[in-house]
Structure 1
């Protein structure tokens, strides 16, 4: 995804194929309506594959059981999830208030995975603190 966003020749990364679209404003769209429904279109699926892999791997990484799963780990996981929700919606609200124009499209793309990424970062930080600084239970 980072390569796709920042590589100058992003057309080299495109994977064009026919896909089924529930709604599209692309090819075959009516001039007056601008939308077509339930049709096959030619489009690049690079973004869809990248975001799908990012979301699936993030969920697996963020919500997998730890080697020693107990009530404290569950508590850390819950607190990290709550903090990530608050942080991501705060950042999204700031984006709504202060970012305008076509760059706002990038904010919405980032917002799709922002909560998951923030959750994983907070969970790993909190788990590191817990394992590093918690007294040995043995």
Structure 2
């Protein structure tokens, strides 16, 4: 099967897009900073695109030691992120109403890639720790 991952250098570019976009998104969402008109639209779009493209670069670029286990972790992380995302979406549809639902759906635009990055990085960290432990024995 052909490997369609980005080169490893894309991971750093992804972090450089992802982290500032998350910070700016949180600041805008909670009203710490606010803009009006066209600038607000441009910044909102930049945040959503930055989080999405950054998360794709982070997760879809090769690891230092790419092997079958990493591929398995990618797939398991994607499935777990999809399950969590779906559960959150269903719960929000049932429990949130009115304008709060609109606010939550704004966050929901980037929730799946966000969950995926968190789960994937945690699993990679766990795998690396396990590998280090096995090498010591």
User: So what's the TM-score if we normalise by structure 1?
Assistant: 0.73
Q: Deviations over 1:21-49 (max 9, x none)?
A: xxxxxxxxxxxxxxxxxxxxxx7322111
* Contact 1:80-1:119 at 8 Å conserved across structures: yes
- State the Cα distance separating 1:7 from its structure 2 match: 3.0
Pair 71,15 (structure 1): closer, same or farther in 2 beyond 3 Å? farther
Q: How many residues align?
A: 110
- Is the counterpart of residue 59 in structure 1 residue 56 in structure 2? yes
Task: Judge conservation of contact 1:15–1:46 (CA < 8 Å) in 2.
Answer: no
Work out which of the residue numbers 11, 25, 31 in structure 2 matches 1:7: 31
Per-residue CA distance 1:62-109 (angstroms, 9 max, x = gap) = 211101000000001100100000000110000000000011012211
Query: Pick from 63, 71, 75: which aligns with 2:68?
Result: 71
Alignment of 1:1-138 (within 5 A): 1-11=25-35, 14=36, 16=38, 44-134=41-131, 135-136=134-135
Partner Cα separation in structure 2 for residue 9 and residue 113 of structure 1:
20
Distance in 2, Cα, partners of 1:123 & 1:115 = 12
Indicate the structure with greater helix content.
Answer: 2
**Structure 1 or 2: larger strand share?**
1
Structure 2: unaligned runs, 5 residues or longer:
1-24
Point out where structure 1 has 5 or more consecutive residues left out of the alignment: 18-42
TM-score under structure 2 length normalisation: 0.73
- Alpha-carbon distance between aligned partners in 1 of 2:42 and 2:37, rounded to the nearest angstrom: 6
Q: Which has the higher contact order (CA 8 A, sep 6+)?
A: 2
| Alignment RMSD | 1.9
Structure of greater Rg: 1
